[in-house]
């Protein structure tokens, strides 16, 4: 293929190297060296990560976590424009400002849908395994060009703005990947098996409704711990769903899978472990409380989880 | 069945829960959990570091969706995207924060259900467009918002995007979760049509919409209860104040 996810890693690595360089050159930065080291190490993960021995990468990750954990990642001083300047350019550009912002999702969708048909010299243009992400990358590059042209700014200013937002996010930007890593460590260490064993051997599931509730609530709880419904599904369905709900009570497996997975998503709404959905947006929206998004989701998630117990109980055994 | 299960790795679960509850820095909590879990499973230190390193490399795709749009969004914000989004929405007089979010919820769920999940998202849609618009509609009605209300509205924007995405995408037959479910069931000796799994997600999806819509309605009521007497402002004057201050 011509454009693969590897190219996106190089692109992100390049952006992070420049971010680290700008941080190092910023004499007014309160945490100049530790922040630059943090972003520099992160850049290496994207640029040469797969060539490095895993032990080195692991050591680097521990160093990054220690820098972030002890407050070593700070934001530089970025000069905001005045309210008049914002308003003047908003007035001058008007609805044109929406165009690059909407171009990102639009190009992503077009790229994803047409990936099958795009090929150059018999090779697919977009990596078939990562069509959405590669299309997103193309969309961002195209709309970056559009935004520079529209605002008459240089690409360097664009990278400066990228660094401003990267600084605002700080280590929260790396947290989703840290948690993804932890999920893999959990599965290597057999945490899933241990949880399934603990739940199935200590709860009496002779009453059908109890078994249904254990499956639904277990999916949510396990997702809260793992941060991901996909990790919970094999454990709970293998431990309770297939042997008990289908095996003993002869329920409809399609209903079980559908409602089970969505019960997992209720857990996703509740957990800081799902950092991409809950913690990163709080940082992106500059909320002082990192758990503000979770707080806004708790009532919806718990009500829906209760609804799921009854939906599964009635729809699975029609 | 499985009586020789090693229960020690469960310590990792305890560490992560304690870490988040006691509000330690999450990066520190995660790395400590990884180290403790690996020790509890009996990994020597080199295998522990290698597992961490391999896991970190394998999950490099996760930050792409956040990092890639930042330059575009930053440039547009520098040129008044948020201000323009606010004044644009203030022309729609019947808009309220809750109704705007309700429309977004419905649109997000429906587009995700036909596979167009990348039409929304926090960096490319919520921060630059949805949040300023929701704040803008509230300011048109109630004047300048107190900080805690502004933060609450933003949190609801992010929450609504999540709810719409999660309970929409699972209805799309070609979505990864459906493939994962049917593959897993197939290996357990049960064959199910992917379409049936997608269809049986619909009742929960409808419940999710109804529950969250009800909460958005309550959000509007809360806004008028807390803010109405504070700043009695006519819609026209409100629009003007937004335009002048360019908040």
Taken as a whole, chain B contains a residue count of 247
Mean pLDDT, chain A, whole residue set? 90
Residue B229's pLDDT is what? Answer: 67
Contact across the interface for B67 and A15, Cβ inside 8 Å:
yes
Residue B145: inside a domain: yes
Q: Is the pLDDT of residue B3 over 80?
A: no
Tell me the residues of chain B between 170 and 209 that have a Cβ less than 8 Å away from chain A: 170, 176-177, 180-182, 184-185, 188, 190, 192-193, 196-201, 203-205, 207-208
Q: Are residues B113 and B140 in the same domain?
A: yes
pLDDT mean over A234-248: 88
Choose among A280, A281, A300: nearest Cβ to B163: A300
Nearest-neighbour CA in chain B from A193: distance (Å): 7
Domain termination site, one of B58, B73, B92: B58
pLDDT mean over B80-103: 89
Residue A221's pLDDT is what? Answer: 92
Residue A298's pLDDT is what? Answer: 97
Q: Is the pLDDT of residue A224 over 70?
A: yes
Q: Are residues B195 and B112 in the same domain?
A: yes
Nearest-neighbour CA in chain B from A117: distance (Å): 18
Tell me the residues of chain A between 199 and 218 that have a Cβ less than 8 Å away from chain B: none
**Which value does ipTM take for this structure?**
0.85
pLDDT: which is higher, A35 or B17: A35
Q: Are residues B34 and B78 in the same domain?
A: no
| Residue A59 pLDDT grade (very low, low, confident, very high; cuts 50, 70, 90) | very high
Helix/strand/coil (H, E, C) string of chain B?
Answer: CCCCCCCCCHHHHHHHHHHHHCCCCHHHHHHHHHHHHHHHCCCCHHHHHHHHHHHHHHCCCCCHHHHCCHHHHHHHHHCCHHHHHHHHHCCCCCCCHHHHHHHHHHHHHHHHHCCCHHHCCHHHHHHHHHHHHHHHHHHHHHCCCCHHHHHHHHHHHHHHHHHHHHHHHCCCCCCHHHHHHHHHHHHCCCCCCHHHHHHCCHHHHHHHHHHHHHHHHHHHHHHHHHHCCCCCCCHHHHHHHHHHHCC
Q: Are residues B205 and B238 in the same domain?
A: yes
Domain termination site, one of B19, B38, B58: B58
Nearest-neighbour CA in chain A from B124: distance (Å): 7
pTM of the model: 0.85
Q: Are residues B72 and B176 in the same domain?
A: yes
Q: Which residue of A has its CA nearest to B196?
A: A254
Q: pLDDT tens digits, residue range A122-153?
A: 788 888 888 888 998 999 999 999 999 999 99
Contact across the interface for B79 and A300, Cβ inside 8 Å:
no
User: Does A223 contact chain B (CB < 8 Å)?
Assistant: no
User: Does A194 contact chain B (CB < 8 Å)?
Assistant: yes
Residue B206's pLDDT is what? Answer: 97
Contact across the interface for B124 and A176, Cβ inside 8 Å:
no
Residue A79's pLDDT is what? Answer: 78
Which range is most confident: A128-132, B191-195, B211-215?
B211-215
Contact across the interface for B75 and A292, Cβ inside 8 Å:
no
Mean pLDDT, chain B, whole residue set? 87
Q: Are residues B104 and B167 in the same domain?
A: yes
User: Does A269 contact chain B (CB < 8 Å)?
Assistant: yes
Q: Which residue of A has its CA nearest to B53?
A: A58
Residue B4: inside a domain: no
pLDDT mean over A59-67: 96
Q: Are residues B143 and B226 in the same domain?
A: yes
pLDDT mean over A201-221: 89
Q: pLDDT tens digits, residue range A156-171?
A: 999 999 999 999 889 9
Tokens 């849609």 belong to which residue?
Answer: B125
Residue B2: inside a domain: no
- The residue segments making up the domain with residue B225 are 64-245
Q: Are residues B25 and B111 in the same domain?
A: no
User: Does A317 contact chain B (CB < 8 Å)?
Assistant: no
Percent of chain A clearing pLDDT 70 (strictly above): 100
Q: In a mutagenesis test of the B interface, which of A182, A241, A270 is the best target, namely the one with the most B β-carbons within 10 Å?
A: A182
Q: Is the pLDDT of residue B32 over 90?
A: yes
Q: Are residues B193 and B102 in the same domain?
A: yes
| Residue B247 pLDDT grade (very low, low, confident, very high; cuts 50, 70, 90) | very low
Residue B138's pLDDT is what? Answer: 93
pLDDT mean over A52-80: 92
Q: Are residues B22 and B71 in the same domain?
A: no
Provide, as residue numbers in chain B, all residues whose Cβ is less than 8 Å from the Cβ of A272.
Answer: 20, 26
Residue B196's pLDDT is what? Answer: 92
Q: Are residues B51 and B85 in the same domain?
A: no
Joined together, the tokens standing for residue A192 give 């899933």
Q: Are residues B94 and B54 in the same domain?
A: no
Q: pLDDT tens digits, residue range B15-24?
A: 988 988 888 8
Contact A232, A266 (CB under 8 A): no
pLDDT: which is higher, B39 or A125: B39
Residue B5: inside a domain: no
Number of domains in chain B: 2
């Amino acid at each position: 293929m011509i454009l693969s996810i590897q190219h996106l890693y190089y692109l992100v690595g390049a952006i992070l190297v420049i971010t680290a360089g700008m941080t190092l050159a910023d004499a007014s930065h309160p945490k100049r060296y530790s922040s630059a080291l943090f972003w520099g190490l992160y850049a290496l993960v994207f640029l040469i990560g797969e060539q490095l021995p895993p032990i080195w990468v692991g050591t680097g990750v521990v160093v990054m976590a220690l820098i972030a954990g002890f407050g070593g990642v700070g934001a530089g001083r970025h000069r905001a424009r005045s309210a008049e300047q914002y308003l003047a350019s908003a007035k001058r550009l008007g609805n044109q400002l929406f165009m690059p912002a909407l171009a990102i999702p639009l190009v992503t969708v077009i790229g994803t849908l047409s990936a099958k048909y795009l090929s150059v010299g018999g090779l697919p243009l977009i990596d078939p395994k990562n069509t959405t992400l590669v299309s997103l990358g193309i969309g961002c590059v195209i709309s970056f060009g559009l935004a520079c042209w529209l605002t008459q700014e240089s690409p360097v200013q664009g990278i400066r703005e990228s660094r401003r937002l990267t600084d605002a996010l700080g280590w929260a930007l790396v947290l989703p990947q840290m948690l993804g890593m932890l999920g893999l460590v959990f599965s290597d260490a057999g945490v899933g098996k241990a949880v399934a064993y603990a739940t199935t051997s200590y709860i009496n599931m002779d009453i059908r409704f109890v078994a249904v509730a254990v499956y639904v609530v277990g999916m949510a709880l396990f997702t809260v711990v793992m941060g991901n419904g996909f990790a919970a599904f094999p454990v709970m369905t293998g431990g309770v769903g297939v042997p008990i709900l289908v095996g003993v009570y002869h329920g409809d497996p399609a209903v079980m899978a559908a409602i089970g997975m969505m019960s997992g998503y209720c857990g996703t709404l509740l957990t800081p472990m799902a950092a991409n959905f809950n913690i990163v947006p709080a940082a992106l929206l500059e909320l002082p409380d990192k758990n503000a998004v979770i707080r806004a989701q708790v009532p919806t998630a718990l009500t829906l989880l209760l609804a799921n117990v009854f939906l599964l109980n009635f729809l699975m055994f029609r | 069945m499985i009586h020789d299960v090693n229960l020690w790795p469960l310590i990792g679960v305890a560490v992560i829960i304690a870490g988040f509850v006691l509000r330690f820095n999450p990066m520190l909590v995660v790395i400590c959990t990884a180290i403790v879990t690996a020790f509890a499973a009996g990994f020597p230190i080199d295998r522990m570091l290698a597992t961490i390193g391999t896991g970190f490399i394998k999950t490099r795709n996760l930050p792409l969706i956040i990092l890639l749009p930042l330059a575009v969004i930053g440039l547009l914000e520098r040129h008044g995207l948020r201000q323009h989004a606010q004044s644009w929405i203030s022309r729609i007089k019947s808009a309220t924060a809750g109704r705007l979010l309700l429309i977004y919820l419905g649109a997000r769920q429906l587009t995700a259900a036909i596979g167009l999940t990348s039409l929304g998202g926090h960096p490319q849609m919520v921060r630059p467009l949805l949040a300023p618009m929701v704040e803008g509609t509230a300011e048109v009605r109630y004047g300048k918002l107190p900080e805690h209300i502004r933060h609450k509205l933003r949190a609801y924007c992010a929450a609504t995007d999540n709810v719409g995405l999660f309970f929409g995408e699972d209805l799309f037959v070609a979505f990864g979760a459906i493939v994962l479910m049917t593959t897993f069931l197939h290996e357990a000796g049960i064959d199910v049509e992917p379409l049936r799994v997608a269809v049986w997600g619909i009742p929960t999806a409808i419940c999710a919409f109804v529950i969250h819509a009800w909460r958005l309605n309550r959000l509007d009521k809360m806004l008028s209860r807390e803010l109405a007497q504070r700043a009695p402002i006519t819609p026209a004057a409100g629009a003007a104040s937004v335009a002048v201050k360019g908040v």
